[in-house]
Amino acid sequence: MCQSPVWWPNGDTRSDNHLKRRLSASAGTHSYHTRSTSTSITTTTTTSASKGRSVSAISTTPDIFTHRYGRSLSSITVIQLGSYGGECDYTDKRSLRFSIDNRPTVPATKTYALVKMHTHEDDEHAEQTQLLSEHQEDMNGDDERRSERGNSIDSSSTVSASLLMMDKLNEGHRVRNNGGYTDNEHDFNGDESDDGFSLENGQGGAPLPYKPWPLRRTLMVWGTVALIVAVFVVGIIMSMLSDRHAAAAAKGAVSSGSAFNSSIPNAAGAGNSSSSSGKNSDATLIDITFEQAWRRDFSPRHHSISWIAGPNGEDGLMLVMEQNSVGEYLRVEDVTTRRNGVSSQQTKKTILMKNPSFRYDSNTIQPEKAWPSRDLKKILVMSHYEKNWRHSFTGIYWIFDVEKQEAQPLDPHDPYSRIQLASWSPNSDAIVFTRGNNMFIRKLSEQKVTQLTTDGGKELFYGVPDWVYEEEVFTGNSVTWWSNDGKHIAFLRTNETAVPDYPVQYFLSSHSGKKPLPGQENYPDVLDIKYPKAGAPNPIVDIQFYDVEKDEVFSVDIDGEFPDDDRLIIEVVWASGGQVLVRETNRESDVLKIILVDTNERTGNVVRSEDIQQLDGGWVEPTQYTRYIPADPENGVEADGYIDTVIFENHDHLALFSPINSSEPIMLTKGDWEVVDAPSAVDVKNRLVYFVAARDKPWKRHVYSVNFDGTEIKEITKTAEDGYYAVSFSHGAGYALLDYKGPNVPWQKVISTPSNEHKYEDVIEINHDLVEMVTRYNLPVVTYYEVEIDGFSVPIMEARPANFDPKKKYPVLFHPYAGPNSQSVNQAFSIDFHTYAAATLGYIVVTVDGRGTGFVGRKARCIVRGQLGKWETHDQIAVAKMYAAQPYVDEKRIAIWGWSYGGFMTLKTLEQDAGETFSYGMAVAPVTDFSFYDSIYTERYMHTPQHNPDGYLHTSIRNTTALGQSVRFLIMHGTGDDNVHVQNTLTLLDKLDLDGIDNYDVHIFPDSDHSIFFHNANRMVYGRLNDWLINAFNGEWLQTAHPLPKPSVIRRAVPALP
């Protein structure tokens, strides 16, 4: 019997060698085993003698509850193997492979668990597997574990009373563990239990003294009896509490409804909003600890579906890769024959790969990614993954034959070469790929590859983006597109020759790939990145084509396109008949051109052009959501065309352009609201377009459909209820995975769409454990409301303590991101650092989406163009003043913090406010001068520095005297940040030094990138934020030798800068 794997959402990364050192230095394996009629519970602990760390796994049948290895595990799989022997052996430098043989090495009555651990850090990816046997006799290393801080069983895990008692006896006291940051400013995550650690005084429980084994066994037995009785009593109490809170938990444990208020919520609540978490402050409820929030112990389980089309266009099929499914590793399943999100004997399926590995040249190959051909006869497989930048990676690629269950290299003459990108022809007869920045094609009828380009290299890219296009335009690793008929390939050629290098130094690790010469090992490793800063030369990008039948690469002269140095290509969409749509903008992203290229005639011309700067002073976002609509006269589609997002009456809406060369839109949506990343899917047969929109309130998301003629907008989700939905559709749009993300505990279900005659619904996730878990914790009250500032409606999200007392004075923490077109005020479920700050520390936490942010109309959004930081900070300060005027707010204890653009917002707000409202600020990886940031992002919102020099000057953080008026602020940055360079922070520090400003703290993290992870850095970031904020609100920073401003001293005048 095999257990289903649980993939844990851990954003942390550590190198394979780091984890290997931990595992190979293990002092022993320890487990405790209890059995009942339905559940087998196993704990396994591997202790590193050299480092004093431990790895623990807790598994149950049929579910795996949790794992513990700090933040170094991104996922873990435990499989019950039964009575087999086995051994571990290294197959290469990146992995431990457990190989099973039929030779029992221990008594057959023993049970085994195969633990598969996935780790990745510093651009590395590794898989570690280790066989852990369940036995109680082996107690080696127990003294060592007892003398150090061990890991705790999470309070949410359903383990037996005897197991809990043994764990208490053997581990002594608990320790906070590591978690991770996922390179997302708003994602504060990790994994850990409530350890009772005092955040104020740092005290935890003391370890129990060592007891000889006989006494320990006695203690276990009697302790078990006592605990069973205690559990029975507690069970009755919890049952009563559960009844008391079950209804509220089922409706949602954190977030509110949506209320519109013209002012801040009053002391009793939020006006008309339904803002309660469902619980009152109760002595029986548990406070969220910092470690739980940092590890994201309350993260919901989430499933994704890889929709796939059948060989003959069948709809409703999904691709399933399951490590522990014997004989069915990779398969295609009919989603309608699954129940509760899992397959069964009744599920219709097609097996593509039977086993999770295959052999080639005496080596065992383990697939890490797989892409079936459209006819499902072959599979493109990638192994030996290595990360490059945020989205890009390389690997070794194979072609797997489904019938023979055998694989061959993608390039038979260079089987182990690292490939940057590979993709199937729609005809399943060829694969195009990029290696060494050159393009190749492998036709399956031939045992060779054909090289398409020859001059690719360090500064010339074919088919893959360079750093700035990957980061700011395509947010992916591919700029290669097959035509629908498989006759042509379009791809971008990127020339970085003129782009200046930015050197990123690494002091403790190596990223350049260069091996230092003997005697030079102690110098920093330097990675030179082609990074175009604002105003610097951009990469020159143009579109190329390959004719598969003629084996010819060619380009097309396009009438009316932008010149090389003023062109951004942001989207390519194939139509039929060899036609392709190319979306271009000028360098400043405020003039849009839609170009129609005919690859048969080898001509191209502009069919639509929009001057956005003239229209509303705004810009074009680089999105890739345009959908081609083929002609279908039988179903009323007379001519082909495409659906695009356009500007209509101050909002982003959907429009149909038909025929394809038309410049006049047929509006599909209208109104005082906006579509989101639309369209989501198109059903040509039924002439329906599906989309997500913020139609009612900007913080909500609901799913809708509309006809091709713009009539009959219908709701797919219940718009009368609060909701924040996402959706993914099957290939033919007949089915959809509906993803309810909040405000209540998330759930997921697969549904048939309205036009599907086969009605179907299957709930695949309800997060029952999380629903139960949140009823036991003290959570804040969250409200959503709007205030009017200068005639603009500004969305606000507030979290306040559940035991809020209007007679008390509360500190307030603001947390903005506020980047152009972004959104932080939304109803997505989240229990994170800010939840902890409100619920446990007792702060009011406020998020303001001021002018410049998304989904409140283009007038409010575009006003910030050319002057980033002006209106955004104005709105933060305006709301802060409203809070400062409330009788329940301590006006001297208002702080602000943010990461990346949020870090810029923090410093800019402190500068603009000059200590009048905000006393404290914490900025992580901040931009301090946008002339230091990349060209494509910055110039979209600021124009070029040559065009707008005054705007760049006023946007930079430069008024140090104003910063000096705050009580204190904190800055943190990683030296290996390839996105927001540490140059930003160092330049600001120099300005502060020159002006004698010293009311700040700074923490620099060696080698950490923008997510700040390297060497426990992420734990340090949030730990420092937590401790620093507590000290600030406790008045510690007022006790410094020369606090500024002194309460009894008149403030210095803040000079106005030119």
User: What is the set of active-site residues?
Assistant: 900, 977, 1010
Q: How far apart are CA 355 and CA 378, in angstroms?
A: 15
Tell me phi and psi for residue 986, to 5 degrees.
-65, -35
Tell me, what DSSP letter sits at residue 470?
Answer: I
Q: How far apart are CA 713 and CA 354, in angstroms?
A: 45
Which residues, 6+ apart, have CB-to-CB distance to 309 below 8 Å? 315, 317, 374, 731, 732
Tell me phi and psi for residue 635, to 5 degrees.
-110, 20
Q: How far apart are CA 336 and CA 757, in angstroms?
A: 13
| Among the listed residues 1036, 1020, 1032, the one whose alpha carbon sits nearest the alpha carbon of residue 969 | 1032
**Per-residue DSSP letters for 248-297?**
HHHH-SS-------SS---TTS-TT-----S----TTSEEPPHHHHHHTT
Q: How far apart are CA 441 and CA 553, in angstroms?
A: 12
**C-alpha angle 708/713/717, rounded to 5°?**
125
| Among the listed residues 757, 716, 767, the one whose alpha carbon sits nearest the alpha carbon of residue 336 | 757
661 exposure class (CB count in 10 Å sphere: 0-12, 13-18, 19+):
middle
Cβ–Cβ < 8 Å for 213, 304: no
The amino acid occupying position 619 is W
Tell me phi and psi for residue 404, to 5 degrees.
-85, -20
Q: Is the dihedral of CA 1005, 1010, 1013, 1019 positive or negative?
A: positive
- Give the N- to C-terminal CA distance of the chain in Å, as an integer: 74
Peptide bond into 62 cis (omega under 30): yes
Tell me phi and psi for residue 920, to 5 degrees.
-135, 155
List, edge to edge, every strand of the sheet that includes 968-974: 781-789, 792-800, 844-848, 810-814, 889-899, 920-924, 968-974, 1000-1005
Tell me, what DSSP letter sits at residue 17?
Answer: H
Give the start-end residues of each E strand in 377-507: 378-387, 393-401, 406-409, 421-424, 430-435, 438-443, 449-451, 460-462, 480-482, 488-495, 501-506
In the numeric block, the tokens 């009152």 are attached to: 280
Q: How far apart are CA 774 and CA 779, in angstroms?
A: 8
Tell me phi and psi for residue 1022, to 5 degrees.
-75, -30
Cβ–Cβ < 8 Å for 1003, 1024: yes
Which residues, 6+ apart, have CB-to-CB distance to 1035 below 8 Å? none
Q: How far apart are CA 901 and CA 822, in angstroms?
A: 10
What are the Cα distances from residue 704, in Å, to 540, 707, 722, 738?
A: 40, 11, 15, 12
**Rg of the Cα trace of the chain?**
30
- Residue 20, number of CB atoms within 10 A of its CB: 18
Q: How far apart are CA 919 and CA 1047, in angstroms?
A: 12
In the numeric block, the tokens 């001068």 are attached to: 929
In the numeric block, the tokens 């009772």 are attached to: 196
Three-state SS letters, 939-986: HHHHCCCCCCHHHHHHHCCCCHHHHCCCCEEEEEEECCCCCCCCHHHH
